[in-house]
Amino acid sequence: MLWRDMREPWRNVHQWPVFAWLTPQPMVLLHQADGQQSVWEGGKKVLARATPQFTAVELPEEYVLRRPLRLPAMAHEDAMAAMALEARSSSPFDAADLVWGYSSQSKPGAAGQSVELVIASRKQIAQYLAGLSSTAASAQGNAAPEVWVLGDTSAPAVLAGYGEAARSAYCVQRRRWGFWLLGLLALGCGALAVTPSIQLRARAIEAAAAYEDIAKKAAPAVRQREQLLASVEALNALAELTHGRIEPLLVMDKLTQVLPDDTALQSFKIQGTKLSFSGQTGNASALMQLLGEVPGFKDVHAPSAATRYGVTNKEVFAVELTLDAAVFGVKSTSMPAPAGFPSAAAAPADKASAPSGAAAEGASAPAPAPAPAPAPAPAPGVANASAGGSRAAVGGGASFGGGATFGGGATFGGGVVAPAVPASAASAANAPRKGAQP
């Protein structure tokens, strides 16, 4: 029962309005009881547009028994079984002689269904068909005619067991062909709709395979590229570390070239870009002006006033200034970027040469310098020694005595053995003088 209930709606799918047009309604030529002829199509009388394929004979009213029925809403098979039972119970004829049919009289939207049951005798119908005129018989041809019973307003009732089977088989065959054509049309539309997606998927698969092939071929080049990028990043990091760092040897070389021959340094200290040094010179003001004109020296000033020693006729000075990293910094050269790669800074390039001498970063407190004794005039390219009478020639420029510091680290210069000083000169040097600093 469950399977039948599930199958029943699909068995009547051809009756749905959306598919009803697939079932053809062939024209039927009806020979009426009054001798006239009419053409029917789909249960309605129409004008003849073509030669009807099927014929039917109207059964007169004296051969027919009618019984109206009211059936509840039920499946078609159940309705046919109920009408068959009612026909057998209401028929005065034997079961073998019974012929029945029905016509639907239901109105749209009505609850249940109203039908008119038609009952007739098979023997009487055979006698009536045998007594038809020769004209009706020739029109019928070899095919057996259908037997209809006309009603007042409803469609004709078709009695089962005659030529209606041929018309039903024709309708079923044409309906099947219609469903086949509709299915092929739907399949074609689906194929047309899916074809672009299939083509895109095939292209995507082909592109993925080509990409994998190219990736395999380019794997060595990709590894070399990664190594090159790692090297460029390392060089960039190194350039960032050395950027802005002051090169002490460049500063010492510049001071050696700039300072006059009568200038001697006693201390020298570099902290970042700040340079501090002190010493003795013949004219501190001229020295400050000279240092202010040197490229790379900025913000030149004296943290304290200069003092003059009466014995040596020298001025003790102290200078602080800011070094330009672009001039005295570690020089870096740009590495040409490989084709297809972003440019990157290269490792630091060659450093500028500095005068020979011991130099290291560190810190050293300058040694106190006693008043120097008179000394002979220095030769060209050699400066006077600083306190303690020591001489240290540096690159043919100014001499560096005492100590020099670079960021508070190692010391250089410093201990230089002073020559012997006569007692008279020592006593004269130790005597206090006006304007001199003890």
Q: Determine the Cα–Cα distance for residues 174 and 191; give it in Å rounded to an integer.
A: 25
pLDDT, tens digit, for every residue of 385-395?
333 333 333 33
Q: How far apart are CA 418 and CA 406, in angstroms?
A: 25
On the question of pLDDT at 412 being above 50, the answer is no
Q: Judge residue 289's burial from the number of C-beta atoms within 10 Å of its C-beta, 0-12 exposed, 13-18 middle, 19 or more buried.
A: exposed
What average pLDDT does this structure show over 57-77? 87
- CATH class name, domain 248-323: alpha beta
Query: What is the per-residue pLDDT across 368-384, written as a single tens digit (0 to 9) for each?
Result: 444 444 443 433 333 33
Confidence at residue 332, expressed as pLDDT on a 0 to 100 scale: 62
Q: Which residues contact 286 (CB under 8 A, 6 or more apart)?
A: none
Instruction: Label residue 425 by pLDDT band (50, 70, 90).
Output: very low
CA pair distance 222, 321, nearest whole angstrom = 51
Largest CA distance in the chain: 182
- Domains of the chain, residue spans: 1-161, 164-243, 248-323
Q: How many other β-carbons are positioned within 10 Å of the β-carbon of residue 304?
A: 11
pLDDT value at residue 218? 92
pLDDT in tens, 140-190: 555 688 999 987 766 888 998 888 888 888 888 888 888 888 888 888 888
pLDDT digits (tens, 9 = 90+) for 259-292: 999 899 999 999 988 999 999 998 999 999 999 9
Contact 159, 148 (CB under 8 A): yes
Query: Is residue 409 pLDDT above 60, yes or no?
Result: no
For the chain, state the CA radius of gyration.
Answer: 64
Question: Token pair of 228, please?
Answer: 């090159």
Average pLDDT over residues 294-309: 90
> Which DSSP helix (H) or strand (E) runs through 404?
strand 402-406
Per-residue confidence (pLDDT) for residue 323, from 0 to 100: 92
Mean pLDDT (whole number) for 321-345: 67
